[in-house]
């Protein structure tokens, strides 16, 4: 168990790491020698940021990182696999086709993870399955960290409502670094409410 000082250092370290990994990944994206090097560097950055985002959520929730390693690995791969829609939409495994689409591929629509989050949160409440809340947030953490990073170049896409302007660089970094705090705050509130509901049912 970490004491307060150690816990604070871990939180500061992981928050800074999200910013640093994103910054280094963006440099790789700008300076990569070929399309394939840029795509791999960009995708690895998405995966790492997704994994660290969920690690920080676990730390903030005072949950064991070792016991929950599986959920970190899931967020790592989920954040990476979002880009598979480039190949599906292009109907080709050629990196040049995948990176030169004339419209944004479907998994980059931010309405999708938000809708999934709402459906899973409601199902969790109706069917009394609190773990669904955690799964819903894992999906949202992976997608939002990916979309916000892409959003620096293209904005956020909320089909059918339209898209935002590109997110200014330091604002995107700030959102990515603060995202785990926001997630933990709301998730904790939801889970507490759920538990209170359950104990109320037990008492009755
Ligand atoms: Zn992407």
Spacing, Cα 133 to ligand 1 middle (Å): 25
Residues, beta carbon < 5 Å, ion ligand 1: 83, 150
DSSP string, 83-123: THHHHHHHTS--HHHHT--SS--GGGBTHHHHHHHHHHHHH
Quick: pLDDT tens for 79-89.
999 999 999 99
* Two structure tokens written together for 130: 């609190």
Spacing, Cα 107 to ligand 1 middle (Å): 8
| Segment 15-40 mean pLDDT | 93
Quick: pLDDT tens for 103-145.
899 999 999 999 999 999 999 999 999 899 999 999 999 999 9
Count of Cβ atoms closer than 10 Å to residue 14 Cβ: 20
Question: 146 CB contacts (<8 Å, ≥6 apart)?
Answer: 46, 49, 50, 79, 82, 83
Spacing, Cα 22 to ligand 1 middle (Å): 13
pTM above 0.95, yes or no: no
Count the domains in the chain.
1
The residue whose two tokens read 């998405």 is: 46
Quick: pLDDT tens for 34-64.
989 999 999 999 999 999 999 999 999 999 9
Query: Residue 149 is part of which domain span?
Result: 4-202
* Two structure tokens written together for 145: 């960290």
On whether the CB atoms of residues 172 and 149 are closer than 8 A, the answer is yes
């Amino acid at each position: 168990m970490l004491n307060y000082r150690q816990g604070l250092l871990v939180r500061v370290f992981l928050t800074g790491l999200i910013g640093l990994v994103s910054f280094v990944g963006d440099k790789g994206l700008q300076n990569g020698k070929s399309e394939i090097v840029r795509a791999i560097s960009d995708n690895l950055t998405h995966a790492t940021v997704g994994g660290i985002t969920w690690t920080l959520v676990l730390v903030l929730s005072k949950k064991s990182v070792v016991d929950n390693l599986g959920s970190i690995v899931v967020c790592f791969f989920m954040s990476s696999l979002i880009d598979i829609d480039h190949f599906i939409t292009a109907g080709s495994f050629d990196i040049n086709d995948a990176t030169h689409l004339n419209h944004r591929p479907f998994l980059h629509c931010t309405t999708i993870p938000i809708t999934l989050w709402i459906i899973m949160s409601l199902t969790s409440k109706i069917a009394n399955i609190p773990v669904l809340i955690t799964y819903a947030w894992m999906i949202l953490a992976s997608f939002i960290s990916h979309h916000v990073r892409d959003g620096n170049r293209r904005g956020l896409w909320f089909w059918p409502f339209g898209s935002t302007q590109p997110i200014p660089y330091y604002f995107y970094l700030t959102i990515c670094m603060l995202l785990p705090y926001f997630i933990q705050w709301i998730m904790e509130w939801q889970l507490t409410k759920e538990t209170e509901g359950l104990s109320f049912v037990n008492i009755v």
